[in-house]
Amino acid sequence: MCIFCKIIEGEIPSKKVYEDEQILAILDISQTTKGHTLVMPKKHYDKFLDMPENEFGLLMEKTQRIAGQIVRNLNAKGCNILINTGETAGQTVMHMHVHIIPRYDENDTVSFSFHENQYDLDEILKEIKEN
Ligand code: AMP
Ligand code: ZN
């Protein structure tokens, strides 16, 4: 059983932010920023790309509601909603989950870097749309 399934089963303790029959939200142990929360389906899927399309509606509705509550009650100015998919993308726990990372100011220890484009956009579109 994966570590998040063990948390869902109550075998490993966690700080529960929200729980219902399908969804569990817990405080992330790393607390990248204050209130950093993980929202996960109780049903195990390794990755974002493995989850059936029709189960995202509920997951994202709950994520929006929980994120709103966190931002409001912790007086954050906003938040990042993040899903790491695959080890190369930084996924370390192979049980699909959504990060809610509250943002307070520019000194938050979160950074996303954007680069100058080095690709032919039309070529990329063609590749994506093939098949
Ligand atoms: P990711 O890198 O997207 O797979 O995110 C995994 C997250 O799970 C990391 O931010 C970890 O800090 C967090 N994490 C790992 N183990 C636990 C745990 N037992 N309880 C709460 N969060 C955890
Ligand atoms: Zn699992």
Kindly state the percentage of the chain with pLDDT values over 70: 100
Q: What's the structural domain count of the chain?
A: 1
Q: What is the pLDDT of residues 53-96, one digit of tens each?
A: 999 999 999 999 999 999 999 999 999 999 999 999 999 999 99
Residue 97: active-site member: yes
CATH number where 27 lies = 3.30.428.10
Rg (CA), the chain: 17
Structure tokens at 31: 């607390």
Q: Which atom of ligand 1 is nearest to the CA of 30?
A: 12
Domain holding 95, by residue range, is 3-129
Q: Which atom of ligand 1 is nearest to the CA of 99?
A: 3
pTM of the model as a whole: 0.94
Question: In one letter, which amino acid is 23?
Answer: I
- Pure H helices in the chain: 3-9, 56-73, 121-129
31 alpha-carbon distance from chain centroid? 13
pLDDT at 33: 93
Of 28, 33, 81, 94, which is best to mutate to test ligand 1, by the most ligand atoms within 8 angstroms of its C-beta? Answer: 28
Residues with CB under 6 A from ligand 1: 3, 12, 14, 26, 28-30, 38, 84, 90-93
Q: Please say whether the beta carbons of 50 and 41 come within 8 A.
A: no
